[in-house]
Amino acid sequence: MAFLDVLEVKCAGNVRRIELHEGDLSRMSAEDAVDLLVLSAFPNDYIPTHTSLIGALFNKGLSVDDLARNKAVDLRQAFSCWLSRPIQITDPGIRFERILCFEPLVRGDAPDVVGDIFRALAPFLGGDPPIRTAAMPIVAAGDQGYSISTMLPPIIEAAVHWMGIGFPLETLKIESRGGAVG
């Protein structure tokens, strides 16, 4: 993924990073590897369309539908998200251990509930193994139809808020296909 920009968030002497990248989250390099991939879906709809990250992952042998059938934790009623069990795919472009699936329409419109991603992550950041790095597209800006300019500000605002109060996520990589940021 090509690095575009960074926003550093400081809290209690620690520096957290929110990075903007251009690329394809299904084709990550070793240096782009993260602990967690965040993606979005319509509620209970993991159809691998040709325009979606779910579709790109499916083409690499990773079925989000299969992961959804055997979730590690389902937090959709409280936080619009579910967490997968560890992923067992060996494709060299799959450089993450788990998926957090954001299904915003369970609780409201995506821009209004995007902070649920961070609320859902809170119990797992210190787990075993800990989640310290994550990557995500500009969620809900694909097949769900929200514009990048509608989704990116609340994503950044939520990330800055949570990282700024000591949330132990060290790096969040936000991917923008084609480099468009709104």
- What pLDDT, in 10s, does the model give residues 146-161? 999 999 999 999 999 9
The CA–CA distances, whole Å, from 74 to 80, 163, 172 equal: 9, 23, 22
Which of 52, 50, 70, 54 is closest to 62 using CA atoms? 54
DSSP annotation of 33 reads -
Report the CATH number that the domain containing residue 163 is assigned in CATH.
3.40.220.10
pTM metric for this prediction: 0.93
Spatial separation of the C-alpha atoms in residues 170 and 159, rounded to whole Å: 11
Structural domain of 123: 2-179
**Tens digits of residue pLDDT in 64-118:** 999 999 999 999 999 999 999 999 888 999 999 999 999 998 788 999 999 999 9
Residue 171 identity: T
**Model confidence at 123, in pLDDT bands (50, 70, 90)?**
confident
Q: What percent of the chain has pLDDT over 70?
A: 97
Q: Return the sign of the alpha-carbon dihedral for residues 84, 27, 182, 63.
A: negative
State yes or no: cis peptide before 104, omega within 30 of 0: no
- Give the 3-state secondary structure of residue 145: coil
Per-residue model confidence (pLDDT) at position 106: 76
Per-residue model confidence (pLDDT) at position 112: 95
For the chain, the domain total comes to 1
